[in-house]
A and B are shown apart, each in its own frame.
Chain A
Amino acid sequence: MSEATFRVLHAGPHVSVQDAGRPGMLRFGVPASGPMDRKSFAVAQAALGNPATASGIEVSLGGLGLHCESGSVSVAVAGAGFIVETGGQRGGSWATLTLRQGDTLTLRRGPWGSWTYLAFSGALLAGEWLGSCATHGASGLGGGNLHAGQRLTVTAARVLDPPAGPIVCPVRARPRHLLRCVAGPQERFFDQDTRAVFASSRFEVTDALDRMGLRLRGPSLVPRGALSIPSEPILRGSVQVSGDGVATVLLADHQTTGGYPKIATVLADDLDGFVQCRPRDAVAFRVIPADEAVAVARLAALCTGPKS
């Protein structure tokens, strides 16, 4: 069976192995992890005909460089508008291409977005934890964060015919600046005026962002006397407000419980596009009723096809 091997030339912070994630472990303090932008990751895998459970590499704005040391394999790059260079050719995300022995692949920050995904036509060998290669960034558990000098192996490596081509970038993979959310579950710790400010203001994405969460800059949302609430479970998408009124949207590697009040929780369908925003981008929240949120999820499923 053919194999392709790579050496990591450079990897920015938060560049890691991911798969679809490890849901179902929140009760043990384990968030699902998985890709920050699950939709783009799924497109990269689907473009190669891989199963939805396949693993790949999540690339941050810090970028990634790989050198193909042996073998040949086709890859897909999907997510955001990164610059993709190989063998003197310069292109962008949303393409398949083929890497052969001696080739160098460079992915770096491009015109838009924050995260891109590299999938391999074959099986990327990576460490598993609890049945998944998804990396929990802070601990490195799972497939792990990539670092220069590391070697990667792809087994069952295949070359596509044709060996390169475009991938259509779906509209839903674009950055999303209007975030639909349901109030709460701790909105009662904010007075009416503060809730109105939350629902009607523009917030700015800051550069305080990692796989755990993304801090926003905007009007202060100071909670009233909430710092003593017992720790409650947290979902991905929670808008957590610290005692000084600063909001943070919790993401793939979120902590699973916490005592800060959550003024609202963003719908899963909007989180993929949200993480593609960049520092200083403006975002706003649209608070909708819970039953409308369920309808949104069902409509989104029609657009993305059945769940794997």
Chain B
Amino acid sequence: MTPGSPPDAPLFRPVAERAVMVEFAAVQDSAAHRAVLRLDHALAARPCAGFCEAVPAMVSLLVVFDPLVTDHRQVEAHLRGLLSASAGPRLRHALREVQVCYDADCAPDLAAVADRTGLSRDAVIAAHLAGRYEVAMYGFAPGYAYLSGVPGPLWLDRKQSPLRDVPAGSVIIAAAQCLITTLTMPTGWWIIGRSPTRVLTGDAGRPFLFDVGDRVRFRRISRATLEPVAPGGPER
């Protein structure tokens, strides 16, 4: 497949005995990502026999099945049927708000980002707040939602070496992606703020703040409004 292949002609790859990877493009491509979300949505509405779960990513959808019930060929046939069916209703994605504090002690890398982008600190903050973000996928660790849509002037490669013990609730950026961390973990991304908004909500009825595809907007809060995130531990 070459870049620019039509997203309605994906490749199907077997994964072990229990999954099919549907790949809509070989490189990062927004049309392919929309096709991933459409197929994910259609599959949720009409799951095949033996369906276990689906995992949307940037340009691919992993469909996990029970090999005692079905196999790769039958799952692929079902997915092809969904792809050829007339497009369903337009996908509706929720708009979620995430609070962020940019004060210096919450944003250890803000000065470095300003330095490297040639912007003032206030301009970095304004650019970050102006971004229109979308939950592209989850990955890496529980609740790590990769938000696409960081404005171009803020794009930076990740740091040379990761910083250890970055607290949960950190708002971090690298290239076009932004993330609100849920665990205390090392990261090589740039830490530009801290959020009291929990992606792992602790609410059993809705344990994750975002669905993949949701739109996200950041709202600035003061240091006084920021509820401190418990140091050292995962958010609960």
Interface residues of A (CB under 8 A from B): 23-30, 130-131, 136, 138-141, 181-182, 184-185, 228-233, 235, 237, 255-258, 265-268, 290-291, 293-294, 296-298, 301, 307
Contacts of B52 in A (CB 8 A): 23-24
**Cα(A107)–Cα(B15), bound, Å:** 37
Question: Closest chain B residue to A24 by CB distance?
Answer: B53
User: In the complex, are the beta carbons of A138 and B14 less than 8 A apart?
Assistant: no
**Cα(A237)–Cα(B14), bound, Å:** 14
Which residues of B, 138-173, contact A by the 8 Å Cβ criterion? Answer: 138-146
Q: Closest CB of chain B to A20's CB: distance in Å?
A: 14
**Cα(A152)–Cα(B13), bound, Å:** 46
- Residue B137, interface by CB 8 Å: yes
Contacts of B25 in A (CB 8 A): 230
**Cα(A265)–Cα(B62), bound, Å:** 13
Contacts of B182 in A (CB 8 A): 139
Q: A294 and B145 in contact (CB under 8 A), knowing A28-B138, A139-B183?
A: no
**Cα(A150)–Cα(B49), bound, Å:** 44
Which residues of B, 11-32, contact A by the 8 Å Cβ criterion? Answer: 13-19, 21, 23, 25-28
User: In the complex, are the beta carbons of A307 and B68 less than 8 A apart?
Assistant: yes
A294's contact among B23, B71, B138, by CB below 8 Å, is which? Answer: B71
Contacts of B58 in A (CB 8 A): 230-232
Q: A139 and B142 in contact (CB under 8 A), knowing A230-B27, A232-B60?
A: yes
Contacts of A233 in B (CB 8 A): 21, 55-57, 60-62
User: In the complex, are the beta carbons of A28 and B142 less than 8 A apart?
Assistant: yes
**Cα(A185)–Cα(B61), bound, Å:** 12
User: In the complex, are the beta carbons of B139 and A257 less than 8 A apart?
Assistant: yes
User: In the complex, are the beta carbons of B233 and A140 less than 8 A apart?
Assistant: yes
30 A-B residue pairs with Cβ-Cβ distance under 8 Å, sorted by A, are: A24-B52, A27-B54, A29-B145, A138-B141, A138-B185, A139-B141, A141-B234, A184-B13, A184-B14, A184-B21, A229-B26, A230-B58, A230-B59, A231-B57, A232-B21, A232-B60, A232-B62, A233-B55, A233-B62, A235-B16, A235-B62, A235-B64, A255-B139, A266-B16, A290-B14, A291-B71, A293-B67, A294-B67, A297-B18, A301-B68
Q: A291 and B68 in contact (CB under 8 A), knowing A232-B21, A256-B55, A268-B18?
A: no
Contacts of A257 in B (CB 8 A): 55, 57, 137-140
Contacts of B183 in A (CB 8 A): 138-139
B contact residues, range: 35 or more
User: In the complex, are the beta carbons of A255 and B140 less than 8 A apart?
Assistant: yes
User: In the complex, are the beta carbons of A231 and B72 less than 8 A apart?
Assistant: no
Contacts of A255 in B (CB 8 A): 139-141
**Cα(A228)–Cα(B3), bound, Å:** 13
User: In the complex, are the beta carbons of A268 and B17 less than 8 A apart?
Assistant: yes
Question: Closest chain B residue to A181 by CB distance?
Answer: B16
**Cα(A229)–Cα(B16), bound, Å:** 20
Question: Closest chain A residue to B141 by CB distance?
Answer: A29
**Cα(A21)–Cα(B64), bound, Å:** 16
Scoring B residues 177 to 191 as 1 if CB is less than 8 Å from chain A, else 0, what string do you get? 000001101000000
Interface residues of B (CB under 8 A from A): 13-19, 21, 23, 25-28, 52-62, 64, 67-68, 71-73, 137-146, 182-183, 185, 204, 207-208, 212, 233-234
B16's contact among A130, A267, A307, by CB below 8 Å, is which? Answer: A267
**Cα(A23)–Cα(B73), bound, Å:** 23
Question: Closest chain B residue to A290 by CB distance?
Answer: B14
**Cα(A307)–Cα(B67), bound, Å:** 12
A28's contact among B17, B143, B185, by CB below 8 Å, is which? Answer: B143
From B59, B62, B144, B233, name the one whose CB has the most chain A CB atoms within 10 angstroms: B62
Contacts of A181 in B (CB 8 A): 16
From B27, B141, B142, name the one whose CB has the most chain A CB atoms within 10 angstroms: B142
Contacts of B60 in A (CB 8 A): 230, 232-233
Q: A297 and B138 in contact (CB under 8 A), knowing A29-B145, A231-B58?
A: no
User: In the complex, are the beta carbons of B67 and A184 less than 8 A apart?
Assistant: no
Q: A27 and B185 in contact (CB under 8 A), knowing A268-B17, A298-B67?
A: no
Contacts of B68 in A (CB 8 A): 297-298, 301, 307
Question: Closest chain B residue to A262 by CB distance?
Answer: B15
Question: Closest chain A residue to B40 by CB distance?
Answer: A27
User: In the complex, are the beta carbons of B17 and A27 less than 8 A apart?
Assistant: no
From B54, B137, B182, name the one whose CB has the most chain A CB atoms within 10 angstroms: B137
Question: Closest chain A residue to B73 by CB distance?
Answer: A291
